[in-house]
């Protein structure tokens, strides 16, 4: 079955890519360059697609930043907050309506190639801080996408009720090369170990009794 996957190059979407490939989906990956500091994730996405022999599109949508709220993920003037995801300061990492924009574009791609499914790797831990990762948002968006075109494409977020630890464990079962995934929000050579994304990743590996190859 033909399916589009939004592949950021992070741990969640990369694991999901391996998962779906393993299930036999005919995958088409799309990555969005929205001016994130952590562009390294796009290189990781490219590497994964090459390894798995998946067609890959990287779309530059940085032109949108002139109308979207300054986020610490895209603005060099705002420091990346350190600490846990559930803290108030993490809200500066929100890019206005980011997921809906990414999903609309990916749905357009899926409609163009007549894919039947559109996958993305939202999970349970994200929902606390990102409104557009909540199950009610995902479900409503799914209903909207189903009637956006004469061609029906179903949005699926299979990890929506899993947490990061579950995903790390799932990745281990699938032999996902975690060194090909990038989580850190800082744009440096090695992970900072302090941002919300690094902290979450480290905790997940620890609780899963695994060692992060990065």
Nearer to a second copy, 71 or 183 (CB): 71
Residue 182: exposure state from Cβ atoms within 10 A (0-12, 13-18, ≥19): buried
Structure tokens at 60: 């530059």
* C-alpha span between 50 and 39 (Å, rounded): 18
Least distance from a second copy to the Cβ atom of residue 148, Å: 5
The three-state secondary structure class of 126 is: helix
85 binds a second copy (CB under 8 A): yes
* C-alpha span between 3 and 117 (Å, rounded): 5
Options 5-13, 16-24, 61-69, 181-189: segment touching a second copy (CB under 8 A)? 61-69
The three-state secondary structure class of 114 is: coil
87 binds a second copy (CB under 8 A): no
60 binds a second copy (CB under 8 A): yes
The three-state secondary structure class of 44 is: helix
97 binds a second copy (CB under 8 A): yes
* C-alpha span between 61 and 75 (Å, rounded): 14
**176, 52 Cβ separation under 8 angstroms:** no
Among 82, 169, 172, 194, binds a second copy (CB under 8 A): 82
* C-alpha span between 205 and 183 (Å, rounded): 13
* C-alpha span between 27 and 54 (Å, rounded): 6
Among 61, 128, 174, 214, binds a second copy (CB under 8 A): 61
170 binds a second copy (CB under 8 A): no
163 binds a second copy (CB under 8 A): no
101 binds a second copy (CB under 8 A): yes
24 binds a second copy (CB under 8 A): no
Number of residues that bind a second copy (CB under 8 A): 59
Residues that bind a second copy (CB under 8 A): 28, 30, 55-61, 63-64, 66-70, 75, 77-79, 81-86, 89, 94-101, 103-105, 107-109, 111-114, 131-132, 134, 136-137, 140-141, 143-145, 147-150
């Amino acid at each position: 079955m033909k399916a589009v996957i939004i592949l950021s190059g992070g741990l969640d979407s990369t694991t999901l890519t391996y998962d779906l490939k393993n299930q036999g989906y005919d995958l088409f990956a799309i990555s969005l360059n929205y001016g994130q500091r952590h562009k390294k994730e796009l290189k990781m996405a490219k590497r994964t697609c090459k390894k798995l022999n998946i067609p890959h599109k990287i779309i530059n949508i940085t032109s949108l930043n002139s109308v979207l709220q300054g986020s610490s993920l895209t603005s060099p003037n705002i420091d990346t907050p350190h600490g846990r995801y559930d803290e108030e300061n993490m809200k500066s990492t929100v890019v206005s309506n980011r997921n809906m924009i990414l999903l609309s574009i990916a749905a357009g791609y899926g409609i163009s190639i007549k894919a039947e499914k559109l996958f993305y790797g939202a999970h349970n831990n994200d929902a606390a801080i990102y409104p557009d990762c909540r199950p009610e948002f995902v479900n409503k968006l799914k209903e909207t996408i189903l009637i956006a075109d004469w061609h029906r494409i179903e949005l699926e977020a299979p990890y929506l009720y899993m947490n990061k630890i579950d995903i790390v464990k799932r990745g281990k079962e699938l032999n996902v090369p975690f060194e090909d995934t990038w989580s850190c929000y800082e744009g440096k050579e090695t992970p900072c170990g302090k941002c919300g994304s690094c902290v979450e990743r480290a905790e997940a590996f620890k609780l899963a009794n695994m060692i992060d190859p990065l």
